[in-house]
Amino acid sequence: MSDIHEVYEQLLKNGFTDKDLQEQIKRKEQEFRGFITKEGALFLIAKEQGLSVYSPDIKKEIYEEAHQEIDYNEFLVTIEELRENMTNLVLLGKIVDIFPLKEFIRKDGTPGILRSFLLADGTGVIKILVWNDQSEIMDSEFFTVEKIIRIINAYCKKGFNNNLEVHLSKKSKILMDPGDIPKKIQQKLHNINIDALSLGHYVSEKNIHNYIAISDLYEMDGFLTSIKGCISHYELKEFSKDQEQPSFLLKFILTDETGEVQVNAWNMKAIEILSLIEKGLNIRLNNIFIKENQYTHQKELKFTKNSSLQIL
């Protein structure tokens, strides 16, 4: 790829806006103190995005310097590793749902825009919130479900119902179809089954009230947005070793009209949950993890740091 117009169009497809490109070109001109043309700067930007380009306007030494710039794969964070207040995040994943635009009025009376979508990476699913001018990329015809994207310089915080969310700031960027994804990660992203996710691995505004039945759990693994049922039995076990603090395991059975499943909570989470539950109580579990017990081969639910229990 060596035609300047072709390079420009490809960068737009990768998620840049005209404004973004002009700003990036200016930065490159400043960085190289005027020793690079606008065309040369554009080609360097393309190289950073993993595009295969060559320009006679760029000296070999500048190409070599461009190759030494940031490798975002080194800073990649998986969705399961996300924690509240993490900043400068680099995420890589597949878009699995896109929500409608929302308009609002700020405190100063000016209008604002909020767009959001769900991103999956094989370790989990997270809601991404994009504000105001940053949301322009979502108007692109190329911004669609199943598109693989990279998010740069985002931050994580708790949102509705204490669920973790990723927000984009003014300095954040979304790049579509980045060209430098390691083959192993690329294959993992392509293998994400969106139809399976719709069974309950993530919450969507169009199915937020369609909770999962316990019988559905036998075909699922990973994080579950929400499930409800009745507590039929529970017990707390204490484990201790010499001169070590004791560990606690709370087990309880959650039932509905389709079946039952064991739920486990460890240590302080176990104590916290024990103070809330009783036999016959109707509850809803949020952000719970489902996995198969390697000994019994039965599916079990496990509380994580971000899990919560709601009494119905």
Measured CA to CA, the distance from residue 150 to residue 166 in angstroms comes to 13
- Give the closest residue to 49 by CA, choosing from 187, 165, 177: 177
Token duo for residue 130: 């994009």
Other Cβ atoms closer than 10 A to 224: 24
Mean pLDDT of 56-71: 51
The answer regarding whether domain 214-311 maps to CATH 2.40.50.140 reads: yes
- Give the closest residue to 124 by CA, choosing from 261, 289, 264, 286: 289
The model's confidence at residue 160, banded by pLDDT at 50, 70 and 90, is low
224-275 confidence digits (pLDDT tens)? 778 889 999 888 888 766 556 678 889 999 998 889 999 999 888 888 888 8
Task: Please report, in angstroms and rounded to a whole number, the separation of the first and last CA atoms in the chain.
Answer: 59
Per-residue pLDDT for 146 more than 70? Answer: yes
Range with top average pLDDT, 1-15, 60-74, 196-210:
1-15
The model's confidence at residue 1, banded by pLDDT at 50, 70 and 90, is very low
Per-residue pLDDT for 88 more than 80? Answer: yes
188 vs 180, higher pLDDT: 188
Domain ranges of the chain: 4-67, 72-197, 214-311
* Model pLDDT, residue 67: 46
Per-residue pLDDT for 144 more than 70? Answer: yes
* Model pLDDT, residue 197: 58
Query: What is the overall mean pLDDT for the chain?
Result: 79
Tell me, yes or no, if the two domains 72-197 and 214-311 fold the same way. Answer: yes
192-223 confidence digits (pLDDT tens)? 877 655 434 443 333 333 457 888 787 776 77
Query: Which CATH topology does 72-197 take?
Result: OB fold (Dihydrolipoamide Acetyltransferase, E2P) (2.40.50)
29-55 confidence digits (pLDDT tens)? 766 545 567 777 777 787 777 676 655
281-299 confidence digits (pLDDT tens)? 999 898 888 888 888 888 8
* Model pLDDT, residue 209: 36
